[in-house]
Amino acid sequence: MALEFMVEASEVGQRLDACLAARLGVSRSLAARLIEEGQALVDGQPRKPAFKLAAGQNVATPEPEAPKPAELVPQDLPLKILYADEAIIVIDKPAGLTVHPGAGQTDGTLANALLAHYPELLGLGDELRPGIVHRLDRLTSGVMVVARTPQALERLTQAFKSHEQRRIYQAICYGQMPKPSGRIETLYGRHPKDRKRMSSRVSEGRQAITNWRVLKAWEGLSLLELELETGRTHQIRVHLSDSGHPVVGDPLYGGRSRLASIKPDEVRARVGAVERQMLHACLLGLKHPSSGEYLEFTSPLATDMRDLLDYLDAH
């Protein structure tokens, strides 16, 4: 099936291979190969991968055949179950565990582990995401819920779309906030130049709202409590980064350049050694999909975050 589109304002000036890769959801090398083979045309003419796009140009290319989804294999991986009944499973996800298979990872995920512990989830919803209604980033730890029945999956999916859940996180970020608490409300969408990233600095997009409160502050660093009113991809990480307070250890939106402001040297070295974003999902509140009863589930701070907080207090 062919793909044809007009160059949008956010894509003006992009290389053809980068834009095509983002549009097709493929690697840049594959996009470049399509272009070099003459299969991607701009206004009906073949171009080079480095060709810079202009507003209103028409791009057409055959869409590569989607790879057949890999079969989800049960794997007996450890899971920390906070709660389980006939309708839902609540999990304390560790940092480093990917929620479901995707590009570049076919196993070793939460979905694989769930299928081993709860084989009845097979066939519940998406083939590679059995029972999964929301996700946490691989490097984010904390509490999340999984549906166990078709009815629970439908109700929870709709509830998450409507932002009915209560979701509270804690994050260690760079800098000190200008006041004790606040609210970040922006438009939200793909980064205009890097399609792998999200941005709140866009002229059009969906609404994103994050409420924050300072729990503790040190010189050059802060511990925040953050409550989501919406649940956009990477929302907390982007809102804090775009506000000048990136999450410590964030590999995509983090502020490694901010390390120079951390004193003394041993504290700077300790913060610089952090291997994942210091972001933890502490609380999830929801209406039970069967009974309608409001329930809250909490997860204590992950050990690496707790250790860093203790170190900052001591130094």
Which phi and psi (to 5°) does residue 7 adopt?
A: -65, 125
The two tokens of residue 219 are 């010189």
Angle (deg, nearest 10), helices 28-36 and 16-24:
120
Closest CA to 192 of 6, 3, 4, 7: 7
Choose, from 107, 137, 194, 307, the residue flagged as catalytic.
137
Q: Are 244 and 185 in contact (CB under 8 A)?
A: no
Cα 4 from Cα 44, distance rounded (Å): 11
Q: Is 277 helix (H, G, I), strand (E, B) or coil?
A: coil
Beta bridge partners of residue 75, listed in sequence order: none
Beta strands 166-174 and 141-147 are unpaired
Q: Is 43 a catalytic site residue? A: no
The two tokens of residue 150 are 């078709």
Region of 106 on the Ramachandran plot (φ > 0 left; ψ -120 to 50 alpha; else beta):
alpha
Kindly report the number of other CB atoms within 10 A of residue 245's CB atom: 22
The two tokens of residue 217 are 């502050």
As a whole number of Å, the end-to-end CA separation of the chain is 60
Q: Are 216 and 172 in contact (CB under 8 A)?
A: no
Catalytic residues: 137
